Amino acid sequence: MKSNAILIITFFLLTGILLSQPKLKIEGGDTYNWGNVKVKDSPLKAKVKLYNVGTDSLKILTVKPTCGCTTAPLDKNVLLPGDSATLDIKLNIGDVAGPMHKAININTNDPSKPNSVLNLRAEVDVPITFYPSKFFAFGQMYVGEEAKRSVKMINKTNQKIMLKDIDVQPKDIKVNIEDGDILPPNGEIEIIATTTPEKVGTFSCRLTFKTDHPDMPEVNLSGWGTINLEKPKNPAATEQVKPK
């Protein structure tokens, strides 16, 4: 009889231990959405609570954002049952237009789901966009030969936008825009950058200017290329016709 009682007590103790588990719950679910934001709102900020809704201590082992534009320090790593911790999130959105999706990977000792993901979303509204990108892709360039690349600047608003304080580096780069130029409402300007390399090496350039639109007061574009000594000759073009 006594041995049976011991077995029963042991069974319930072991069952309690097995059923005692930590469990992570993210406040608001697995997605935090800022909705529509503007460039000037950067960095986006949010405080998201992590709860332990289990019956044992929850250990938050790692918190890893998926890109360097996001930081998410945690105020504590061990949560007793019913306790919570806070992620202090900051997301630098830059000036990229449209939908933005980043994520934070959270690793815990929750046996049912050791790896959780908190998705971060926003819709970035910008008055000016660039096509195909904010980058002059010079690619392969050649000493003494003029190189020219362009980027389309598109006004997404119903008002004209004035450009000012245009600066290009290095100074021997020529661009076809100048102070006082107007980007028409819902219109576009093709920005053309031109240079003639003088020596072999890598090439980089930067174009910056300001606008009178409060949501995009400054614009930065860059460019890159590789300068070669001369173009490879086309064998077909130089082949001589052999006499019959």
Mean pLDDT of 33-46: 93
Residue 88 maps to which CATH number?
2.60.40.10
In this prediction, residue 6 has a pLDDT band, given cuts at 50, 70 and 90, of low
**pLDDT exceeds cutoff 60 at 94:** yes
Please give the pLDDT value at position 238. 45
Tell me: pLDDT of 109 over 80: yes
Q: What is residue 232's predicted lDDT score, i.e. its pLDDT?
A: 74
- 46: tokens are 């949010």
List the Cα angle 91/95/97 in 5-degree steps: 100
Q: Is residue 18 part of a domain?
A: no
Q: Which of 125, 151, 186 is the last residue before a domain boundary?
A: 125
At residue 58 the predicted structure's pLDDT band, cuts being 50, 70 and 90, is very high
Does position 155 have pLDDT exceeding 50, yes or no? yes
239 assigned to some structural domain: no
- For tokens 């809704």, name the residue: 53
Contact partners, residue 139, CB within 8 Å, separation at least 6? 225, 226
166 by DSSP, 3-state: which?
A: strand
* Total domains in the fold of the chain: 2
Is residue 70 domain-resident?
A: yes
**pLDDT higher than 70, residue 17:** no
Q: Which domain holds residue 73?
A: 23-125
pLDDT at 119 over 80: yes
* 8 sits in which H/E element: helix 2-19
Indicate the average pLDDT of the chain: 89
Closest CA to 125 of 227, 50, 185, 39: 39
CB 26 within 8 A of CB 116: yes
Same domain flag for 114 and 206: no
pLDDT-above-90 percentage for the chain: 78
Q: In terms of domains, do 140 and 159 share one?
A: yes
- 169 and 116 within one domain: no
Start-to-end CA span in the chain (Å): 116
Predicted pLDDT at 101? 95
Q: Residue 138 corresponds to which tokens in the numbers above?
A: 């010079």
Most distant CA atoms of the chain, gap in Å: 116
Q: How confident is the model at residue 36 (pLDDT cuts 50, 70, 90)?
A: very high
Instruction: Say if residue 15's pLDDT is above 80.
Output: no
pLDDT recorded at residue 244 = 47
Q: Assess whether 132 and 111 both reside in one domain.
A: no
Confidence of residue 150 (pLDDT cuts 50, 70, 90): very high
* Position 242 pLDDT exceeds 70: no
% of the chain surpassing 70 pLDDT: 87
The helix (run of H) or strand (run of E) holding residue 206 is: strand 201-211
| Residues 215, 136 share a domain | yes
The reply to whether 106 and 148 lie within a common domain is no
Regarding whether 105 and 27 lie in a shared domain, the answer is yes
Do 161 and 194 have their domain in common?
yes
Q: CA 182 to CA 139: how far, in whole Å?
A: 30
Decide which of 108, 125, 142 is a domain's last residue. Answer: 125
Give tens-digit pLDDT for 174-206: 999 999 999 999 999 999 999 999 999 999 999
Residues 195-223: what's their mean pLDDT?
95
> Any long-range contacts for 144-149 (C-beta under 8 Å, 24+ apart)?
144/196, 144/197, 144/198, 145/196, 145/197, 145/231, 146/194, 146/195, 146/196, 147/194, 147/195, 147/196, 147/197, 147/225, 148/192, 148/193, 148/194, 149/192, 149/193, 149/223
Give the Cα separation of 76 and 88 in Å (integer). 11
Interatomic CA distance for residues 172 and 203, integer angstroms? 12
Specify whether the CB–CB gap between 104 and 89 falls below 8 A.
Answer: yes
Range in 54-58, 145-149, 215-219 the model is least confident about: 215-219
Q: Are 39 and 106 members of one domain? A: yes
Which of the four pLDDT bands, split at 50, 70 and 90, describes residue 1? low
Q: How far is CA 219 from CA 95, 107, 162, 163, 216, in A?
A: 9, 38, 12, 10, 7
